[in-house]
Structure 1
Amino acid sequence: MTKVSVIGAGAWGTALAIVAEKGGNEVRLWTRQPAHAEAITRERSNSKYLPGISLSPAIRATSDLAEAAEADVLLLVAPAQHVRTTLTALHPYLDRRVPLVMCAKGVEQGSGRLMSEVMTEVAPNNPIAILSGPNFAREIAMGLPAAATLAAAEREVGAALVSTLGLPAFRPYYTDDIIGAQIGGAVKNVLAIACGIVSGGKLGENARAALITRGMAEILRLGEKLGARAETLMGLSGLGDLVLTCSSPASRNFSLGAALGQGDILGEILQQRSTVSEGVYTASALCRLADKFNIEMPICVAVNEILNGGVAVSSAVEELLARPFRDERLAGF
């Protein structure tokens, strides 16, 4: 039996704990709040983040990092902007042989680094992997069919992780393209905010389809610069995740954008939420990467201007629509 620890007891972490337990593994679910761990143990559910879903007694909740580190596999599901802090706290207890699987999607706001780069900086001796795809936590927890990309530089590590996490209804597909497996998941969060704005502002399905398509072009341009493979970006962790997140109000980023499109104020939206919308924090980091590599990412720039630049939604939309007409093969919206 493989010992799997999930670091982060939000909705996605809880869903992955359920997946791991169904695979016959011994599972620990770590939360930084002792009261939260006690509530999960007492109620056999995570009513705070994934209400209505029962948890097997085989999933053990804990707030003790040292206990959580005693595992054969560690799934890191802390929000992207907290990965460095969480992994730094975890590092003293780590066995260097234990694979670290990044399950958060984003770019570190301060440094502009991908999650794999943060992992390598903090825990340079551990094998690393990326799990990313078109996965809503509640559907995974309910056992509905889904697939994901699982990226690891070493095929042996990837094969072992696929065996540990794979189920008939949860199908990980292996790749060694660690960079490509991260880019789609990070950028799509920002693009989902844009699509939510389109929905909330009643700009029509044509506009949303155009945003998804031209947003995919932005993912491909960034991926090319960072060394990702196009087939990875067109797969589950790229196009698949983009389509899901840009099409459903169940997406936290889409619903946040919809509220902005309806005229709500960002600060008030965030105050009303207990969960993180990663695109809010990734937008500025992506814009810095675009400037660094001289890449045109006008949709991401427009979202960042709305979120962090004080630009009105209507003004950002007008600016996008006023861009010059281009050959579809070339850069630009």
Structure 2
Amino acid sequence: MAKITILGCGFGTALAIMWDKYGHNVTAWSKYQEEIDAIMNDGEHKRLLPGVIVPPTIRLTTDMNCVSDCDILVFAIPSKFVREVAQKVKSYVKKDTIVVNVGKGFEENTDKRLSQVLKEELPDNRIAVLTGPSHAEEIGRNVPTTIVVSSEDEDCMMYLQETLQNDRFRIYRNSDLVGCELGGALKNPIALCCGIVEGMGLGDNTIAALMTRGLAEITRLGVAMGGKRETFDGLSGVGDLIVTCTSSHSRNHRAGLLIGQGIPAAQAVKQVGTVEGYQCAKIAYAIAREHNVQVPIIEQLCEVCYNGQSPLEAVSKLMGRPSKAEEEIF
């Protein structure tokens, strides 16, 4: 059994409940004392995981020193806060602690993958990611879930796979760290789009088209950025895309519904909370232009989110693009 410290009590709470159930020594940290107090008083995270008991065996704290003696340190926080938190914990983290990121996105302004951010701030530690189709609402309820662990260190992947998986949480290894991270990040704008078309009252045909052609965009851009094509056919690619595009648990999907119903994008995001696809769309489009990769769906999403274009006009532009063969790469 491992000593695990989880930074972030959103998705992190679900992971804490699951790993505590299977005998690990788990600590969950939050920046917000009121969040810790609410969980302790209610015995559950009522806002994010209503009805799921948080066992008293999980240590809850706001003290950064909680990272000082763990075997595995899990970052389960929004992408925009990863560097800030890493800088705050770096003086406490032991060199032999494995650092695992479960967030999905890019760092704003630098466009860096989150493992790159963590490697810059914690250069002496081995870095890994856990990614794939995994909603907190289901992990916390012990629903069978299958994800991927990826790292540049094979021994690190083996250790995390053997230590963290259980009979309800199966972990596969994948050495393509770049591809695994990009699949998890780039599916979020596509999920936002699927929510938009559902909010517009369009049908399953449209959503299926968005998911399929969205996967083509994710793969094109991911390969251009150094990922392996086959990675995007796996759990961290198409698997994560399916669950995020189709589930009401997805904040990207929920925000998209509001946008499709006529609520301005910025207002919809504020109403839902953390919506990684909103920020990621702008970053992904900028990266695509740098690599000369066509991403028409993400481009039109940016027009809707940042330039005031109506979703209906975006659909019309996508449907009116020049005809091409499906197997064309670009």
* Contact 2:100–2:129 (CA under 8 A) maintained in structure 1: yes
Rounded Cα–Cα distance in structure 2 between residues aligned with 1:221 and 1:239 = 13
Listed as ranges, the gaps of 5+ residues in structure 2 are: none
Letter in 2 for 1:303: L
Rounded Cα–Cα distance in structure 2 between residues aligned with 1:144 and 1:164 = 19
Q: Which residue of 1 aligns with 2:146?
A: 147
Letter in 1 for 2:250: S
Report the 3-state secondary structure (helix = DSSP H, G, I; strand = E; otherwise coil) of the residue aligned with 1:36: helix
Q: Which residue of 2 aligns with 1:325?
A: 323
Structure 1 residues 12-91: aligned runs within 5 Å: 12-91=11-90
Cα offset for 1:89?
1.1
Rounded Cα–Cα distance in structure 2 between residues aligned with 1:65 and 1:310 = 42
Structure 1 residues 73-152: aligned runs within 5 Å: 73-152=72-151
* Contact 1:23–1:164 (CA under 8 A) maintained in structure 2: no
Report the 3-state secondary structure (helix = DSSP H, G, I; strand = E; otherwise coil) of the residue aligned with 1:50: coil
Q: Which residue of 1 aligns with 2:251?
A: 252
Report the 3-state secondary structure (helix = DSSP H, G, I; strand = E; otherwise coil) of the residue aligned with 1:52: coil
State the aligned residue count: 330
- Over residues 93-139 of structure 1, what are the superposed CA-to-partner deviations in whole Å (9 max), with x where a residue is unaligned? 11121111110001112111111111111111110001111111111
Report the CA distance shift for 1:68/1:38 in structure 2 as closer, same or farther (over 3 A).
Answer: farther
Rounded Cα–Cα distance in structure 2 between residues aligned with 1:66 and 1:41 = 20
* Contact 2:3–2:26 (CA under 8 A) maintained in structure 1: yes
Q: Which residue of 1 aligns with 2:206?
A: 207
Rounded Cα–Cα distance in structure 2 between residues aligned with 1:69 and 1:321 = 54
Cα offset for 1:331?
4.5
* Contact 2:154–2:175 (CA under 8 A) maintained in structure 1: yes
* Contact 1:25–1:164 (CA under 8 A) maintained in structure 2: no
- Over residues 229-277 of structure 1, what are the superposed CA-to-partner deviations in whole Å (9 max), with x where a residue is unaligned? 222211111100101111122211011111111111223323333x311
Letter in 2 for 1:127: R
Q: Which residue of 2 aligns with 1:7?
A: 7
Cα offset for 1:210?
0.8
- Over residues 255-311 of structure 1, what are the superposed CA-to-partner deviations in whole Å (9 max), with x where a residue is unaligned? 1111111111223323333x3111011111101110111110111111111111222
* Contact 1:76–1:100 (CA under 8 A) maintained in structure 2: yes
* Contact 1:189–1:278 (CA under 8 A) maintained in structure 2: yes
Q: 2:310 aligns with which of 309, 312, 326?
A: 312
Report the 3-state secondary structure (helix = DSSP H, G, I; strand = E; otherwise coil) of the residue aligned with 1:130: strand
Letter in 2 for 1:329: E
Letter in 1 for 2:308: G
Which one is further off, 48-57 or 126-135?
48-57
- Over residues 6-26 of structure 1, what are the superposed CA-to-partner deviations in whole Å (9 max), with x where a residue is unaligned? 10011x111111122122110
Letter in 2 for 1:299: I
Report the 3-state secondary structure (helix = DSSP H, G, I; strand = E; otherwise coil) of the residue aligned with 1:86: helix
Cα RMSD between the aligned structures? Answer: 1.3
* Contact 1:135–1:241 (CA under 8 A) maintained in structure 2: yes
Rounded Cα–Cα distance in structure 2 between residues aligned with 1:239 and 1:175 = 15
Rounded Cα–Cα distance in structure 2 between residues aligned with 1:180 and 1:22 = 31
Report the 3-state secondary structure (helix = DSSP H, G, I; strand = E; otherwise coil) of the residue aligned with 1:246: helix
- Over residues 190-217 of structure 1, what are the superposed CA-to-partner deviations in whole Å (9 max), with x where a residue is unaligned? 0001111111112211111111111111
If the length of structure 2 is used for normalisation, what is the TM-score? 0.96
Q: Which residue of 1 aligns with 2:164?
A: 165
Q: Which residue of 2 aligns with 1:217?
A: 216
Cα offset for 1:51?
1.8
* Contact 1:29–1:68 (CA under 8 A) maintained in structure 2: no
Q: Which residue of 2 aligns with 1:285?
A: 283
